[in-house]
A and B are shown apart, each in its own frame.
Chain A
Amino acid sequence: MLSFLLPQRVKLLGLLIAAGVVAAVAALGWQVAELGAQRYAIGGWGAPLGIDLYADGLSLLMLMVNAVVCLGVSVYSTGYFNRAYFRRSRAIYFWPLWMFLWAALNALFLSSDIFNLYVTLELLGLSAVALVALAGGADALTSAMRYLLINLLGSLFYLLGVALLYHRFGSLDITILSQHIEPSPAVWVAMGLMTSGLLLKTALFPMHFWLPAAHASAPAPVSALLSALVVKASFYIFLRLWLEIFPVDSSVFGELLGVLGAIAIFWGGVQALRQTRLKMLIAYSTVAQLGYLFLAFPMASYFAWKGALFILLSHALAKTAMFMAAGNILHFGGHDRIQDFDHVVQYQPLTSAAFALAGISIMGLPPSGGFIGKWLLLEAAINSGQWWLVIIIIMGGLLAAAYIFKVIGYAFTQSRKSHQTRRVPIRMEWTALILAIAAILLGLIAPWPLAIMDIGLPFSGEAAG
C-alpha cells in the first residue's frame, strides 16, 4: 500500500493509484469484517522486536472515510489544478505531495507502534505543510510556516513521551504497552507530554490559533483534506493512546478535555459567525466541530465514544464537501466574500446544493450523519446526567445553523451587480455534491458503521454506559 510513493507526475496515474488504494481498503475492510481485527507483522518479527500493523474497526472506519474523501479530492483536483491561475510548475508538485499525504494517513491509521506513529506524523505534517504552501500567497506561506513550527513542536512533545514510555516498559507496541501499563510518575508525565503534543496538532480550543489561517489559505482541495482528515489523524492517535494505554480512570483530566471541547464549540461557532470570508468561516467551523470530539471524554461511555466517532466521520465528509463548494465559488466568482454571494444559486445549483447538504450534517439535522453522532452524544450525556453537555450540544447546533444560514441567505439574495465569472468544471461541482450526499447518507446507513466500530472494540471496557 506504500508502493505508490514514486513521484510520477501524471494525473492519470494519480487517479489510478487512488482507485487502487480504494480497492485495497475495500479488500481490507472485507477481511476485517469477516475475520475480526487483523494484525500484520512487518518483516515477520512480531511485536516487541519488529513493527506491527493493526487494523480493527476503528482504523478500518478511518481508512474507509479516508479512501472516500481522498478519492473525492483526487477527482476534484484533476479539475482544480488545471486552472490557468495555478502555474503548471506548482501544479505538478501537487500529485506527489498529495500521494505522500495520503500514504502517511494510511500508514498512520494502520500502525500499532508508537515510534512508527511518530514517523508517520512527521510525514503527514511535512506533506501537509508543503501542500498549504502550494497556494503560494503571502498568507499561505506565513500560515504554512506557523503550521510547520506547530507540527514540529507537537511531534517533539509526542516523541519525548514515547521516549519515557519506552524506557519504562521496554516496548513500543501499543498492545504490549496496554498490557503492562500501570500508573507511575513517568507514565503521567509521558501522558501529559503526548497529550499536549497531539492536542496541539488536533487544535483543541486554546491551541487552535494556527488552524483557521492554515486551512483557509491552502488550495481548496488541500483545505478540504486538512480539515477532514489531517487534524483527525492526531485525534486518532490520541484516542488510541487514551483508550488503550493510559489509565482511563483519570476523570479530572477527562472533565478538563470536555470543558475545553465545550469552549471550542462556542468559540469556534461565534468566530465563524463573525467571519466575512467563506473559507475562514468553514475553518472556524472545524474548530467548533473538533470540540464535539472532546465532549466524549468526560462521559467516557460506549455511546459517547460512538457518537464522537460518528461526528468525526460525518464531519470529514461534510467538511470536504464544504471546502470543495467554497473552492468552486471562489473559482467561479474570484473571491469568497460572503456578502457578495449573489447569483451563486442560479449559476451553480450543484455547488449550492452541496453546501446546503453538508451544512445540514454540520448542524446535525436529521437524517444526516451529524445528527446520529450528536444524538448518540446527547443520549450518553442524558444517561450520565451531565446536563451541561446537553445544553452545549444543542447550543452548538444552533450556532452552526446560524452561520450556515448566513451563507445560504446571501447566496439566495439577488443583486443587479454583474460579476466577472469563470466556468467551473462540472466534475468539481459533482464531487462536492456527492460527498455532501454521502454525509447525509451516513445518517441513513448508520447501523453499518456503528457495527464496524464494534470490531476489535478498543472501548469495550466501558461498554456498560
Chain B
Amino acid sequence: MLLSEFFTVILLLAGAFFFLAGTVGLLRFPDVYTRLHALTKADNVGLGLMVLGLALQAESWAMTGKLILIWLCVLLSSASVAHLIANAARKKGIEPWKQ
C-alpha cells in the first residue's frame, strides 16, 4: 500500500469520526444553539479532513482546487446558515439552555 493511500484512509476515517461526533451531538444536545454548534463545527472539520484525504488522491491540481473550493463554500454557507438559524431562534425568544 502506498503511503499516500494510507494517509488517505486515515484522513477519511478521521473525517468520518468527526461527522459521527457531529451527528451524535445533533441528536443528543439539549437546545438549538448547542446542536448547531455540534453540527457545524464538527462537520466542517470532518469535511475538511475528507477533502484533504481525497486531495491526496487527486489526479491534477485543478481537481485539488475544486475540492478545496467545495470545502470553502461549505464553510461559508454553514457558518452563515448557523448564524441565521441561531438569530431566528433568538428572535423567537428561545432561551439558551442553562444548567
The answer on direct contact between A and B (beta carbons under 8 Å) is no
